[in-house]
Amino acid sequence: MIALSVDNRNITGVTEGIRKKMIEERLVSKGIELPEPPKPAGVYVPSVRVRNLIFVWVL
């Protein structure tokens, strides 16, 4: 079942959830167990690259 909204925002969330579940089931069926991801190594700030310039937001 796919939930529809006027602006279709819910479709992406539902289909991504279904896709994630299918991937997890395939990994389990093949006996593959993924390790937990590592903690972030630093502080990441939002940035945008425009040609040869990078704009960085200062938090």
Position 3 in a domain: no
Position 4 in a domain: no
Q: How confident is the model at residue 32 (pLDDT cuts 50, 70, 90)?
A: very high
Structure tokens at 58: 């200062």
Distance CA 6, CA 38 (A): 38
Kindly report the backbone phi and psi dihedral angles of residue 20, in degrees, each rounded to the nearest multiple of 5, phi listed first: -60, -40
Domain ranges, residue 30 = 9-56
The total number of structural domains in the chain stands at 1
Please give the model's pTM, rounded to 2 decimal places: 0.41
SS3 23: helix
Output the pLDDT for position 15. 76
Output the pLDDT for position 21. 86
- Decide which of 58 and 24 is more confident: 24
> Amino acid identity, residue 5?
S
- Angle made by CA atoms 45, 48, 49, in degrees to the nearest 5: 130
Position 28 in a domain: yes
- Decide which of 41 and 30 is more confident: 30
What average pLDDT score do residues 4-26 get? 69
Position 44 in a domain: yes
Do 59 and 45 form a contact (C-beta atoms < 8 A)? Answer: yes
